[in-house]
Amino acid sequence: MKKEIFKVLTCIVIINITVISLFLLVNGNCAVEEIDSKYGDPPIIDGHIDLSAKEWSKAFKDNDIKLEDLPIKLWVMHDNENLYISVQIEIFPGYHSINEFIGLIISNSSSENKEDFIDARIIQFTNISTNKYNYFDYNVSDSVFLIDTEENGDGAAKLEKITSTYEFALPIKGDDTDKDDAALDYGNSYAFNITYGETQSYPDGIKKSAIVLINIQSLTPSIISITNLVLYVLIVLVFSIIGILLFVYIYRIFKLKEYMERYKR
């Protein structure tokens, strides 16, 4: 009896490992950082995060992202109108370039293909020591950056002690978006190439970059995909069966122990 139970448990464990592996494959085969934007009250786009006013308090926060070897803090949130992105860089005094910039090069989908990155928003310091900066809206074609005929969104930057903070507000318009902009919409995912540089030259001035995938959550409750739902159900069933069999196995051991004690007497 014990051998039969052991064989059953072994089979279930193997099945369980297989199911979990498939689950991880489906959800983990993305090569980029994946971020779920959080809903919250809009921040003031001024390059300063007012913690006393609880600005960005609802945002998704990742304080351990790297643009190659440059660590940044990335905060993402949205409201009924805009997607808000904050990038913060800490560098010791004297090491911030006078013309430092952060850019967001935006794909029109979740694709990382070069031709799908059609939109760029850049905040460029003209003099970081006096907090003078410009906000640019570009359309991108074959790695050529052209000033958008209609500027959309907003951006601001500020250096405070050793931290430079960049704040972006990108309109979420869907099909109503300017043809030169990525059509950001709720319930969809978009690849963002976050870039850092020190000269006003794009893309030549870009020194470091990293791609992240931002999921703009729907304003209505999201529906779990059929694939994920099936996998979740399978995992719950497998663990439930394992639990039941373990309980039966332990119960039979105790009963066998009681029988042996009675037999000895």
Q: Strand order of the sheet with strand 132-141? A: 33-36, 206-215, 189-197, 101-107, 117-127, 132-141, 144-147
Q: What is the pLDDT of residue 130?
A: 96
Q: For residue range 10-24, what is the model confidence (pLDDT) as tens digits? A: 555 455 555 444 444
Q: What is the pLDDT of residue 128?
A: 96
Q: What is the pTM of this model?
A: 0.72
Kindly give the confidence (pLDDT) of every residue in the chain, 265 residues in length, as a single tens digit, with 9 standing for 90 and above: 545 544 544 555 455 555 444 444 444 334 468 999 999 999 999 999 999 999 999 999 999 899 999 999 999 999 999 999 999 999 987 789 999 999 999 999 999 999 999 999 999 999 999 999 999 999 999 889 999 988 999 999 999 999 999 999 999 988 777 788 999 999 999 999 999 999 989 999 999 999 999 999 988 644 445 666 777 788 888 888 888 877 777 877 877 777 676 666 6
Pairing status of strand 82-90 against strand 163-171: antiparallel
**DSSP notation for 226-260:** HHHHHHHHHHHHHHHHHHHHHHHHHHHHHHHHHHH
Which residues 6+ apart lie within 8 Å of 134 measured at CB? 123, 124, 126
Q: What is the pLDDT of residue 32?
A: 66
The type of residue at 111 is S
- Burial of 263 by CB count in 10 Å (0-12 exposed, 13-18 middle, 19+ buried)? exposed
Q: What is the pLDDT of residue 228?
A: 66
Q: For residue range 177-203, what is the model confidence (pLDDT) as tens digits? A: 778 899 999 999 999 999 999 998 999
* Whole-number Å distance between alpha carbons of 261 and 47: 76
C-alpha closest to that of 86 among 77, 102, 75, 78? 75
